[in-house]
Amino acid sequence: MDLVLNIADYYFFTPYVYPATWPADNIFRQAITLLIVTNLGAYILYFFFATLSYYFVYDHLLMKHPQFLKNQVSREITHSVQSMPWMSIPTVSLFLLEVRGYSKLYDGVGEFPYGWFQLVASVLSFLFFTDMLIYWIHRGLHHRLVYKRLHKPHHIWKIPTPFASHAFHPLDGFLQSLPYHIYPFIFPLHKVVYLGLYILVNIWTISIHDGDFRVPQLLKPFINGSAHHTDHHMLFDYNYGQYFTLWDRIGGSFRNPSSFEGNGPLNYVKKMAEEKHNSHGGNGYKNEKLFNGECTKTE
Ligand SMILES: [Zn+2]
Ligand SMILES: [Zn+2]
């Protein structure tokens, strides 16, 4: 974050905001700037990518699902907007430690004998580390002692839209991002890689709520996408993962997404519409089954 902090200071805060007598490395000044930059960055990322996803990726047919709530989109947005500033407080505390030199972040690839090799290896190890911890933290958040208070607010949305991606209880959101912040305090990581992966996971979080259930055939066994995460919202005890299905498979919580089997929420809505059409057509095709249980795999 010191890269972002330096740019913000250089172009904006030093010339236009803070008095010249306030040194740039003052801890209070750094904390205030980080709070502003982190919140602004989070809002821009959230609104830009969630809006794009909502209009160009998200299938609006899903909003006709019986479990889609009244005014859901505006509720998801309100929840996210209210949570993000609170989430940013513990996050900024960690950014502050990092800016003040307590982490193992570095900026020169040449600092290590196998610079580029180390950089690529660190990306893989970062993905492995964060995927593993996020899985267990998320699973822990489903424990009955904490679920209701901390994680349930994110499960209100059974059929989420991209705007649900950041609609968490602040502590829940922070805990699920904690592995990202812990890693650079334990292992060396390039600053730009860190920033890039942090932005990427925010976009990924939006993408697993976008209701686009397609995954390239080759990657289907490995990637934890929107189909997996939508099932997580609906069925709770499966597919806790973030990028990959690995830890769900190890932890015994993997479930092949209902959408891959032709009975996901979108199939359900389409079936419902078909039912309605048929019953209007007067052939009396009953739709009770669809309302009682899952939409079964039919031609
Ligand atoms: Zn959950
Ligand atoms: Zn979710």
Per the model's pLDDT, the better-predicted residue between 198 and 280 turns out to be: 198
Report the greatest alpha carbon distance in the chain: 81
Amino acid 276: pLDDT = 82
Residue bearing tokens 């990726």: 57
125: CA distance to ligand 2 center in Å?
24
48, two tokens: 């830009």
Rounded to the nearest 10 degrees, the angle between the axes of helix 115-141 and helix 170-186 is 150
Separation CA 295–CA 264 (nearest Å): 7
Separation CA 200–CA 124 (nearest Å): 14
Amino acid 291: pLDDT = 36
194: CA distance to ligand 2 center in Å?
23
55: CA distance to ligand 1 center in Å?
25
> How far from each other are the two terminal CA atoms of the chain, in whole angstroms?
53
193: CA distance to ligand 1 center in Å?
27
* pLDDT tens sequence across 103-124: 999 988 776 667 788 889 999 9
* pLDDT tens sequence across 155-183: 999 999 999 999 999 999 999 999 999 99
Amino acid 287: pLDDT = 43
Separation CA 99–CA 96 (nearest Å): 5
191, two tokens: 């600053």
Q: What is the pTM of this model?
A: 0.87
Of the candidates 55, 85, 229, the one whose C-alpha atom is nearest the C-alpha of residue 157 is: 229
* pLDDT tens sequence across 69-78: 999 999 999 9
35: CA distance to ligand 1 center in Å?
27
117, two tokens: 């090799």
